[in-house]
Amino acid sequence: MLVAAIGAGVIGRLEESAILLLLFSLGHGLEGLATDRARNAIRALGTLTPKVARVVREGRDLQVPVEELAVGDLVRVMAGERIAVDGEVREGTSAVDQSPITGESVPVVKEIGDDVFAGTVNGDGLLLVRTTKLASQTTMARMVKLVEESQANKGRTQRLTERFTRIYTPIVLVSVPTIIFVLTTFFGMTFADAFLRAMAVLVGASPCALVISTPSAVLAGVAQAARSGVLIKGGMHLESLGMVRAIAFDKTGTVTQGRPDVTDVIAADGFTARDVLEIALALDEHSSHPLALAIVRRAKRDAISAREIRDVRAIPGRGVAGMIGDSRALIAGPRSFGKADFPQLTAQLQAQVDALEAQARTVSIIALGDRCVGAVAMADQVRPDIAKTLARLKSLGIRHLVMLTGDNPKVAHAIAAPLGIDEVKAGLLPEHKIDEVHLLMKNWGAVAMVGDGVNDAPALASATVGIAMGASGTDVALEAADIALMADDLSKLPFAVGLSRRARRTIMQNVTISLGVVAVLIPCALIGVVPLSWAVVLHEGSTVVVAFNALRLLLYRDPT
């Protein structure tokens, strides 16, 4: 553009030169306005965290810059305030709006012991938070840093266009003297007219729109994803997710919630379900075992209190025993009963236990004295609405859904069957998951792997795109995955896939517009149909169209 403007001025066509520079500046300004909108969407993430915190020191509240906070400092958060630090709640209860981090639309209740994140908004309660991370290490700070760095992680289309323009641009510049020579020598044109026509060709051939066609779309796509709780670490991964045809899921913590819950309470003859839970709670309420915690949660939900118990002790490898009154209370797996000093299961209770285990339930038997009181069955529950999520992925063009798990086949198939999962691979070690991912890539091309970002890291790294679940506050997940769902929410996955598909379409549209305009302008400028000023108008117009077309990604919403 500058070469053409200077050239027009040198031959005395100052009005042409002025129009060229005016239109170029106008187009460049509009292009900058569009791309700044996308950049501002990213910068806005960084402005969400307060600059000062109310720190409790020696019984007084002091306003301290967040950069000066140390791990262990106690920060008081008033109702309606943004939380200034990543930390753990030490006092108080409140509903916290975590949408800036996780994209969750519903506030999450935070109690003593729960984690909170800088940049989130406190509700009506008063919280006292113990700082667990420095200001530079908060989840929000790392998100902003990774999103900014993602612009350097270029996609395949952007790399191709950059290689193309590195060769194309010098060829166009070198061709200008050749065009002038041919027009003056073989077509009898004056030097001034031939020069202006060559300048029009130079303007028409300029690849400005092509150069910004991909990075502008990537910038807008990554920004919109981050605002919705999905961290995409670069254009390469945004484009790759748009090409995915098969997705593999880890089971525990991904398809399921990752913790057992009580599904059935069975009472033996002469007892009630309340008796079963009262005794089970007495034995388990001080245990940290996942099955014990499931029983405690169920008893709390049903407002059941534990019976008085003494001499509680663990029976290694079996269960827990204690004394309720003069009778010995037991909780253990069904295989322990009928052996040593464990009472025998009745035929009816044994049949019920067998039926529950056939449904992939884990069963604990409760006994009092020489009688079995009943049984409690537990299972890791699937995530709510996961069937809808998987159906939505199918509607977006995902052809094959696979569950990869180290669990036994009976449990895996029982969970996968009602969800519409196409294939189940069970009993896998981490290295076997890598092999399965490679096989999927051989059969389906681009494959995404969804896991928790820690124990699935090898499989995540092997897939075309690795997607980590629940990455808020998890350093390993943020670093290991290509894409991180910041909330522990699989329903964000269809949004991410839909956005990436839209971004790929936008990139293809932009490249087509860019190359199409260049392909039309070069011959039209060469034969004189399009003068220099109109070449600038059309060229800059295409650049602005490309920029604003990319900006539409900031408006993308999941249709569901």
Our CA dihedral for 87, 92, 97, 100, rounded to 10 degrees, sits at: -10
Strands 310-315 and 87-91: unpaired
Our CA dihedral for 451, 456, 462, 467, rounded to 10 degrees, sits at: 20
Residue 332 β-bridge partners: 319, 365
Supply the pLDDT for residue 213. 85
Neighbours of 546 (CB within 10 A): 30
- Residue 218: is its pLDDT beyond 90? no
Q: Which of 471-475, 478-482, 530-534 has the highest mean pLDDT?
A: 530-534
Cα atoms in the 13 Å half-sphere on the side-chain side of 226: 31
pLDDT bucket at 476, cuts 50 / 70 / 90: low
- Residue 257: is its pLDDT beyond 90? no
The Cα 226–Cα 537 span in angstroms is 35
- Residue 473: is its pLDDT beyond 60? no
Supply the pLDDT for residue 8. 79
* Mean pLDDT score, 430-459: 86
- Length of the chain (residues): 560
pLDDT bucket at 541, cuts 50 / 70 / 90: confident
Q: Is 257-381 assigned to CATH 3.90.1150.10?
A: no
- Residue 471: is its pLDDT beyond 80? no
- Residue 61: is its pLDDT beyond 80? yes
Supply the pLDDT for residue 410. 79
Give the predicted TM-score (pTM) of the model.
0.77
Lowest mean pLDDT among 360-364, 418-422, 511-515: 360-364
pLDDT bucket at 348, cuts 50 / 70 / 90: very high
351 alpha carbon, distance to own chain's centre:
45
Asked if residues 263 and 364 have their Cβ atoms less than 8 Å apart, the reply is no
Neighbour-count burial for 431-456, b at 16+ CB within 10 Å, e otherwise: eebbebbeebbeebebbbbbbbbebb
At the top level of CATH, the class of 53-132 is mainly beta
Residue 450 β-bridge partners: 249, 467
pLDDT bucket at 35, cuts 50 / 70 / 90: low
pLDDT bucket at 235, cuts 50 / 70 / 90: confident
More confident residue, 101 or 505: 505
pLDDT tens digit string along 5-23?
888 788 887 887 887 788 7
pLDDT tens digit string along 143-152?
777 666 655 5
The Cα 76–Cα 64 span in angstroms is 12
State whether residue 544 is helix, strand or coil.
helix
Query: What residue segments make up the domains of the chain, in order of their start?
Result: 2-41+147-219+502-555, 53-132, 231-256+383-497, 257-381
Asked if residues 212 and 31 have their Cβ atoms less than 8 Å apart, the reply is yes
Lowest mean pLDDT among 68-77, 126-135, 145-154, 311-320: 145-154
Q: Considering 86, 97, 250, 482, which one is annotated as catalytic? A: 250
More confident residue, 233 or 106: 233
* Mean pLDDT score, 409-415: 83
Indicate left, alpha or beta for 333 from its phi (over 0: left) and psi (-120 to 50: alpha): beta
pLDDT tens digit string along 168-198?
888 888 888 999 999 998 888 888 889 888 8
The pLDDT > 70 percentage for the chain reads 92
* Mean pLDDT score, 270-288: 91
Q: Which tokens in the block code for residue 143?
A: 């998100």
* Mean pLDDT score, 68-83: 91
Q: Which tokens in the block code for residue 310?
A: 């003494």
At the top level of CATH, the class of 231-256+383-497 is alpha beta
* Mean pLDDT score, 443-463: 84
- Residue 105: is its pLDDT beyond 70? no
Cα atoms in the 13 Å half-sphere on the side-chain side of 495: 27
- 489 is known as an active-site residue: no
pLDDT tens digit string along 283-307?
998 887 888 899 999 999 999 999 9
Longest dimension (CA), the chain: 119
* Mean pLDDT score, 542-551: 88
Asked if residues 310 and 297 have their Cβ atoms less than 8 Å apart, the reply is no
State whether residue 248 is helix, strand or coil.
strand
Strands 447-451 and 246-250: parallel
Supply the pLDDT for residue 45. 63
Supply the pLDDT for residue 477. 62
